[in-house]
Structure 1
Amino acid sequence: MVVIRLARGGAKKRPFFNIVAADSRDRRDGRFIERVGYYNPVASGGAQNLVINAERLAYWQQNGAQLSPTVARLAKQAAKAAA
C-alpha cells in the first residue's frame, strides 16, 4: 500500500521533513516513490515552512494512497492558508 508520510532530514535539533509517497513497508527515511512537498518547523525569516504540491497529493489520494495523521493535518493547514 502507498502511504504519504513525513521523512525526516536535517541536523540534530534542526528537523526538516520531506512529504513523500512511499510504500508502507519501506523505512521512514528510506526509499520513496515521489516527493510531494516539505515541512520545515523551524523556518526563520522569510523562508516558507510548508510547501505541498496539491495536484500530486490529490493524484496519489485518487490512486488509493493513505495520508498519515500528521500529513493530513498539514494538508488541511496548507489548504486553509491557500484559501
Structure 2
Amino acid sequence: MSMKIRLARGGSNKRPHYAIVATDSRMPRDGRFLEKLGTYNPLLAKDSEDRVKMDVERVQYWLGQGAQPTDRVARFLESAGLKAKVVRNNPKAAVPGKRMTELAKKKAARAAAPADAE
C-alpha cells in the first residue's frame, strides 16, 4: 500500500482550510484518511504560527513507514526542519508562450519599420 501525506480541503467557497492527513494514495483528496496530522490555513499571514500546525512526532512516524509527502506538504516539512531542502528548478517558467512570442515579434517589426522608412 503506497502512503501519502497530503492536504485534504475543507471550508466553504473561497474560504479554504486544509487538514494535513496520512492516507492511502488511492483514496480521493477529501475522502477517507488514516490519521489527521495537522492543519493549514492559507488565509492567515505567512509569518503567523497558526498558519501551519503539525504533530511532528506523528509526521516522522509516517515518514518512517514510507509515506511520501506531496510537494506542498514537503515544503511545510522543509520549513519545519523535518526534511532536507530541495533545490527546485523550472527553466521553462520564464519562457513566454506562443502567443506572447508572436506579439513580441510583431512589436519588434513595427518598431523597426519606421526606422527603415526614414
TM-score normalized by structure 2? Answer: 0.62
- Structure with more of its chain in strand, by fraction: 1
> Matches of 1:47 and 1:59 in 2, distance apart?
23
Which residues of structure 2 form unaligned runs of 5+?
A: 83-118
Q: Which has the higher contact order (CA 8 A, sep 6+)?
A: 1
Give the structure 1 partner of residue 51 of structure 2.
Answer: 49
Q: Residue 10 of structure 2: SS of its match in structure 1? A: strand
> Matches of 1:78 and 1:48 in 2, distance apart?
13
- Listed as ranges, the matches of 1:1-83 within 5 Å are 1-43=2-44, 48-79=50-81
Dislocated runs of 4+, deviation >4 Å: none
TM-score normalized by structure 1? Answer: 0.87
Q: Residue 70 of structure 1: SS of its match in structure 2? A: helix
Name the amino acid aligned to 1:78. Answer: A
Name the amino acid aligned to 2:41. Answer: N
Name the amino acid aligned to 2:51. Answer: N
Q: Residue 44 of structure 2: SS of its match in structure 1? A: coil
Query: Which structure has the bigger radius of gyration?
Result: 2
> Matches of 1:38 and 1:65 in 2, distance apart?
18
Q: What RMSD in Å do the two structures reach over aligned CA positions?
A: 1.7
Shift of 1:47: 7.4
Which residues of structure 1 form unaligned runs of 5+?
A: none
- Structure with more of its chain in helix, by fraction: 2
